[in-house]
Amino acid sequence: MTEEIKAYCMKCKAERTIQGVQIVMTKNGRPAANGTCPVCGTKMFKFLPSSYKSQATPAPAAEAPAAAAPVASEPAPVAESAPVSEPPAA
Ligand SMILES: [Zn+2]
């Protein structure tokens, strides 16, 4: 369950309860709250004490389907000299 986490909104210049708060793990291994300001809709972010670790969404693992994260990669050109290594049909 999500809980109310307050953070300072840079735009409102006031403390707001983060809307749609999501507890995530940062690269530093620290939990943080992600969400938006309920008043102006500005994105909000706040580091949380390590006691929130257990609530944090684990970092996307390799096994997790990345359906909602389109990778902005260039389309790989089909090289005509690509090595085809098919196993022998024995
Ligand atoms: Zn705001």
Say if CB 60 and CB 42 are below 8 A apart. Answer: no
Q: What is the pTM of this model?
A: 0.59
Per-residue CA distances from 34 to 17, 27, 37 (Å):
11, 14, 10
Using the mean position of ligand 1's atoms as its centre, give its distance from the Cα of residue 15 in Å: 8
Q: Which domains does the chain have, with CATH numbers?
A: 6-55 (2.20.25)
The whole-angstrom separation of Cα 6 and Cα 83 is 56
pLDDT, tens only, 35-74: 999 999 999 999 999 999 988 876 555 554 555 555 667 7
Q: pLDDT tier at 1 (50, 70, 90 boundaries)?
A: low
- Region 22-30: mean pLDDT is 91
The whole-angstrom separation of Cα 36 and Cα 39 is 9
Residue scoring higher pLDDT (18 or 78): 18
Using the mean position of ligand 1's atoms as its centre, give its distance from the Cα of residue 39 in Å: 5
**The predicted structure's pLDDT at residue 57:** 78
The structure tokens listed for 54 are 């257990």
**The predicted structure's pLDDT at residue 45:** 94
Using the mean position of ligand 1's atoms as its centre, give its distance from the Cα of residue 5 in Å: 14
The structure tokens listed for 74 are 């260039």
